Amino acid sequence: MPRPSPARAKSATSSRGQTHTIRIIGGDWKRTPLPVIDLDGLRPTPDRVRETLFNWLGQRLDGQRCLDLFAGSGALGFEAASRGASRVLMVERHARAAAQLRANQAKLAASAIEVAEADALRLAASLAPGSFDVVFLDPPFGEDLLGRALELAVPLVAPDGFLYVESGESLDAAANPALEAWSVVRQGKAGAVHYHLLQRENEE
């Protein structure tokens, strides 16, 4: 698995072997720092990318249901909860990372957040279709998981919902069978990270 890129490492800056921190950008817990474990391949979404994403989503997510399928640091899920999401399911397979997510959840007394220590693909396959308004999809870049993750994540998004994808290369929705009837409505690039917001196309 590749080492974190410089752009993403800026959100977790301390020497190897120590606890890093991320900072919530907006909402109820704005400017709150949260510890992140030092783990190979863990790439907290950079501050400027999160700020852009939640501008795209309209700043507040009041009452919305969110899935952070490869939670890692939890940067996206905690940001969503801070901005009013009614439910945030964070899925993380690594025991130490999941434990840190639970510790941060307790620190914030974040009742809307649920942490599941599980394989993301297996858990996604068991979830009800259309059960989330926003799905955050940021699989490890070096494990060739994106294709299968998209297949499983797309049905979970509610009809008017959004799918957010981070990847190591630009995402071509038209060339991806899992994204038939979807389009990239916004996209950007920060260092080696490409990020995309997708929504179902209007069928009229």
Closest CA to 139 of 130, 152, 128: 152
**pLDDT on residue 19:** 61
Count of structural domains within the chain: 1
Residue 29 has pLDDT above 80, yes or no: yes
CA dist 179 to 152, 182, 192, Å? 11, 5, 23
pLDDT in the model for residue 54: 97
pLDDT band at 43 (very low <50, low <70, confident <90, very high): confident
Enter the pTM of the model.
Answer: 0.88
Range of the domain at 195: 6-200
Q: Is residue 165 part of a domain?
A: yes
As a whole number, mean pLDDT of residues 171-184 equals 93
For range 166-171, the mean pLDDT: 93
> Confidence band (pLDDT; 50, 70, 90) for 37?
confident
Question: Using CA atoms, how far apart are residues 203 and 194, in angstroms rounded to an integer?
Answer: 27
Assess if residue 1 is contained within a domain: no
Q: Is 72 part of any domain?
A: yes
Render pLDDT for 80-110 as a digit per residue (tens, 0 to 9): 999 999 999 999 999 999 999 999 999 999 9
CATH of the domain at 175: 3.40.50.150
23 within domain boundaries = yes
| 139 occurs within a structural domain | yes
In a domain, 64, yes or no: yes
Please, what is the Cα angle at 90 between 110 and 45, to 5 degrees? 95
pLDDT digit string, tens, across residues 121-163: 999 999 999 999 999 999 988 778 999 999 999 999 999 999 9
pLDDT digits (tens, 9 = 90+) for 57-77: 999 999 999 999 999 999 999
